[in-house]
A and B are shown apart, each in its own frame.
Chain A
Amino acid sequence: AQTVTQSQPEMSVQEAETVTLSCTYDTSENNYYLFWYKQPPSRQMILVIRQEAYKQQNATENRFSVNFQKAAKSFSLKISDSQLGDTAMYFCAFSPGGTSYGKLTFGQGTILTVHP
């Protein structure tokens, strides 16, 4: 079974600054995917970024980027130029590949507050 650990229950950052959210995972799989989801107060789950484990290049989506360290089983999210709308709970998630793709295991989440 896979586990996902987010060791930062809460983080805060000033608007326009950069913040990094941490995530570690444990798996014996070779084929898997990692995700960061955002859950604003509306509680709608929004996909922020997706990383395929077989790709060495770190995924980026505009102001969001990841630092994927496969050997260390680490998958951190960097948010650059933080905006007030980034205030939300952020979840790291793991999915096996193959026929089990989509069966997500989530971390406990990090509440991020962006201050003006």
Chain B
Amino acid sequence: SQTIHQWPATLVQPVGSPLSLECTVEGTSNPNLYWYRQAAGRGLQLLFYSVGIGQISSEVPQNLSASRPQDRQFILSSKKLLLSDSGFYLCAWSGSFDGREYFGPGTRLTVT
């Protein structure tokens, strides 16, 4: 069966520090991968998506970047965090077999 992991689960970082959040998927190959952000417990906003290694599309101009160094690994990064980067970050994947999108457990980021 397929599983999706995210780490860390919780992170507190000062303004101006770098960020690296990691997402990995097991049990499938060539998934589409997504990064979403949820601010203040409300709706999710798509930040990045990837259809393959090295292929990243940004949906919202911002202080963040994403990379996909391996087929089932998706990384969200920032060189210098802003207060507005605080939120709940969710990674998701989808395959072509059932049309469903599966979400990871999320990372709660607080920028202080």
Is A22 an interface position by the 8 A CB rule?
A: no
Residue pair B42, A102 in contact (C-beta under 8 Å)? no
Residue pair A89, B103 in contact (C-beta under 8 Å)? no
Of B41, B46, B88, the contact of A104 (CB 8 Å cutoff): B46
Is A55 an interface position by the 8 A CB rule?
A: no
Residues of A within 8 A of B88 (CB): 43
Residue pair B100, A106 in contact (C-beta under 8 Å)? no
Q: Nearest 9 CB-CB pairs, A to B? A: A45-B103, A106-B43, A102-B94, A108-B43, A106-B44, A108-B42, A102-B32, A43-B106, A102-B101
Q: In the docked arrangement, what's the CA distance between A35 and B92, Å?
A: 15
Is A50 an interface position by the 8 A CB rule?
A: yes
Residues of B within 8 A of A103 (CB): 34, 46, 49, 59
Is A36 an interface position by the 8 A CB rule?
A: no
- Docked complex: A37-58 residues within 8 A CB-CB of B: 43-45, 47, 50
Residue pair B44, A91 in contact (C-beta under 8 Å)? yes
Some 22 contacts from A to B, beta carbons below 8 A apart, are A4-B43, A33-B99, A35-B101, A43-B88, A43-B105, A45-B44, A45-B103, A47-B101, A47-B102, A50-B100, A89-B41, A91-B43, A93-B44, A102-B34, A103-B46, A103-B49, A103-B59, A104-B34, A104-B44, A108-B43, A109-B42, A109-B43
A47-B100 CB under 8 A given contacts A91-B43, A109-B42: yes
Interface residues of B (CB under 8 A from A): 32, 34, 36, 41-46, 49, 59, 88, 90, 92, 94, 99-103, 105-106
Q: How many A-B residue pairs have CB under 8 A?
A: 49
CB distance from A75 to the nearest CB of B (A): 15
Q: In the docked arrangement, what's the CA distance between A23 and B103, Å?
A: 21
Residues of A within 8 A of B45 (CB): 106
Residues of B within 8 A of A102 (CB): 32, 34, 49, 94, 101
CB nearest to B95 among chain A residues: A102
CB nearest to B108 among chain A residues: A43
Residue pair B105, A50 in contact (C-beta under 8 Å)? no
Residues of A within 8 A of B100 (CB): 47, 50
Is A67 an interface position by the 8 A CB rule?
A: no
